[in-house]
Chain A
Amino acid sequence: MSMNRRQFMVAAAGAACLPLVGCSSKSEQQHVVVVGGGFGGSAVAKYLKKYQPSLSVTLIEPKTTHVTCPGSNWHLADLVSMEQITFTYEGLKKRGIRVIHDSVTAIDDQKHQVTLASGQTLVFNKLVVSPGIDFNWGAIEGVTQENADKIPHAWQAGPQTLLLKKQIENMKQGGTFVMIAPPNPYRCPPGPYERVGMVAQYFKKHNPKAKIIVLDPKDKFSKQGLFAQAWQDLYDDMVEWTGLNDGGKVTKVDVSSMTVYAEAGEIQADVINAIPPQKAGALAFTAGLTDGTGFCPVNPTTFESTLKKDIYVIGDAAVAGAMPKSAHSAVSHAKMTAAAIVNALTGKDDFPTINANTCYSLVSDNYAISIVGVYSVQEGKIAEIKGAGGVSPAKADSDFRAMEAVYAKGWYSSITQDVWGS
C-alpha cells in the first residue's frame, strides 16, 4: 500500500463516518434484549447480529438447552432421539450474542429496563419478547397443572414428551389412547394430528389392537382431508376422530378413574393426552402486552407491540393475522423484526416484506403431508397472498408422500441449523 499513515487515517476515518450517520449520536453501544430462547427469540438474536454486527444483543432464557416441539412427535414413534431435538446456545454465543440463563421478573417500558430473578437489571433500546405459549388450566374440569404429570399435554417439549412416551410404551395391549385436542388458536395447528399418526405408527408395531380416540372441540382442523385419508390408508380403523358436532367437546376428566366425559358420552381411557386451551406465555401478561384475546397485538410490518413502544412480540404469543402459530412462522417473524429494529435504530424506514410458513406433518416414517402459506400486509393485517400456499395434493402417489417425508426431515435439519447452528 502506497498510502502513508496520515493519508490512510484520514481516508479511513472519513469512510468510517458513513455508518455512524443516522446511528444514535450517543457514545454508548445500542442494546437489544431478547427474552425467550425458542425458535423466535433465538432467530431474532442471530439476525439482529447479522444485520447490524455492531449491535449489542443479549438473550435471556432460563434453560441451558432447548428441546424443540417440532420433532417431539417423531420421538413418540422412535424416529428421533431426544438428543437429536435438543440444542444449546453455543452457536449464538459464537456470534457474539450474550446469553444469560435467568428469568425475567419485570419489564419497565418507561425506563426501558428488564429485571432478572437474580436482581440484575438490563437497560435496552429495543426489547423483543418471544415467550411462547402458556395454558388455560381449568377450562376443562380435571385438566389442571397438578394433573399434568398424570395426563400429559406434551405441548412444551422436554419432560412432558418423555412422560407421554413412557405412558404409550406402558399401555396395556389393546388399550385406549385418548387425545383431547385444543380449541383455536393454539401452537402448531396440524401438531395434534401429526401426533395421532406417530402414536399410531408406534401402536401398529408394538400394540396393534390399541385404539386411538381424538376428542376435538373443533369441527375442522388443518390438513383434515389429507390426515383422515392417511389414517385410513395406513392404520385401518385404529384412529377415531370425533368433532364438535358429534360431541367431541370434553367437559371433565376424572384422573383417578381415567374417565373422559365428552358431550358424546363417557370414555374409559388408558392414556390421556390432554392438550389444554392456550394463551400467550406468562411474561406477556405481566408485561401488559396482551389484549382480550390472551395474545399480543402487534404492528403487522414490524411486530412492535401496539400497546408498548419499543417492545416487539414475536412467535406463538403474537397475533400475526393469518399466520399459524408455528416454528417456521416464529422464525419468519424474527427475521422481519430483526430488520425492522435495525432500520429503526439506524433511522431508516420500514419496508413491507413477505412472510412464509411451511408445516410438514409425518403420518408415518415415509409418508408426510404439508401446508404452505405466503403472507403480506394487506389492509393493515397479515393476510395470505392469493393464489399462493395451500396443502399437499389430495391425489398424490406414494412417491410424492415419501418425498415430502424426506423434505420434512430436511426442513427440521435446516431450520434448526439456521437458528442454532454455528
Chain B
Amino acid sequence: MIKITYLLINWGLCMRVRKKAFLVMLSLLMSSSIMAAERGQVLADSCLSCHAGVDRNATIINLSQYPSSAIVSQMKAFRDGTREGTVMTRHAKGYTDEDIAQLAKYIGIQGK
C-alpha cells in the first residue's frame, strides 16, 4: 500500500496534472470500490428486469422514482396478502424481511 501511495503521489506531481484531472482519476478509482457488488445491490438489480422501462411501452412502474420505504411496505404487502397483484404476489413470497431491507437500500429514492 505504501508503494502504491508513493507511486500515486509521485505520478500526480511528476505529470503536473491539474487538480481537476486528478479528481476525475480519484473518482474513478473510488467508484470501483463503492460499486463492488453487495448482496442488496444484486437483489435490487433483479427487480430492474421488469422495473427499468422508460419508453412508451413501459407499462410496469419504474422503481427508480419510487420511495424506498414504499418498496419495503409494498413487498411485504404483496407477500403477506394484504395487497392483490398479478405476478408480484408470487415474487414477494420468495423474500424475507432481511432480503427486502437489503434490496431497498439500492433501489428507489433513499430516505423517503
Contacts and interface: CB of A to CB of B under 8 A. Distances in A.
B39 interface: yes
A243 interface: no
A20 B59 contact: no
**Highest count of chain B CB atoms <10 Å: which of A20, A331, A346:** A20
**Highest count of chain A CB atoms <10 Å: which of B9, B22, B37, B51:** B37
Interface in A377-422: 385, 387-390, 392, 400, 403-404, 406-407, 409-415, 417-418, 421
Nearest to B39: A351
A12 B8 CA distance: 9
Interface string A1-36: 000010011101111111111000000000000000
A358 B47 CA distance: 11
Interface residues of A, number: 64
B42 A335 contact: yes
B19 interface: yes
Given A51-B37, A52-B35, A17 B5 contact: yes
Contact of A388 (B37, B48, B93): B93
A53 B31 contact: yes
A260 interface: no
B78 to A, nearest CB: 11
B52 A417 contact: yes
Contacts of A55: 32
B77 interface: no
B60 A354 contact: no
A283 to B, nearest CB: 25
A255 interface: no
Nearest to A52: B32
A92 to B, nearest CB: 15
A358 B41 contact: no
A81 interface: no
A16 B32 contact: no
B82 interface: no
B30 A374 contact: no
Interface string B45-67: 11011111111011110100000
A388 B94 contact: yes
Nearest to A51: B37
A336 interface: yes
A130 interface: no
Given A13-B5, A15-B30, A19-B32, A413 B53 contact: yes
**What's the interface size class on B, roughly?**
35 or more
A314 to B, nearest CB: 14
Nearest to B23: A12
Contacts of A328: 49
Given A9-B22, A388-B91, A406 B59 contact: yes
A286 interface: no
Nearest to A1: B19
B92 to A, nearest CB: 8
Interface of B is mostly: helix
Contacts of B62: 414
A342 B60 contact: no
A413 B55 contact: yes
Interface of A is mostly: helix
B90 to A, nearest CB: 4
A21 B36 CA distance: 13
Given A8-B19, A354-B43, A372 B87 contact: yes
A354 B37 contact: no
Contact of B49 (A358, A388, A390): A358
Nearest to A19: B33
Given A410-B59, A415-B50, A418-B49, A372 B32 contact: no
Contact of B90 (A14, A20, A338, A372): A372
B36 A414 contact: no
A356 B45 CA distance: 11
A90 to B, nearest CB: 16
A232 interface: no
B12 A9 contact: yes
Given A410-B57, A412-B57, A418-B52, A392 B35 contact: no
Given A10-B9, A12-B26, A414-B60, A51 B53 contact: no
A223 B48 CA distance: 25
A249 B24 CA distance: 63
A303 interface: no
Nearest to A49: B35
Contacts of B19: 5, 8
B22 A385 contact: no
A220 to B, nearest CB: 20
23 contacts: A13-B8, A19-B30, A51-B37, A52-B36, A54-B32, A348-B36, A355-B46, A356-B49, A370-B86, A372-B91, A374-B90, A374-B94, A374-B95, A375-B94, A376-B94, A388-B93, A390-B90, A410-B59, A411-B50, A411-B60, A413-B53, A414-B51, A414-B52
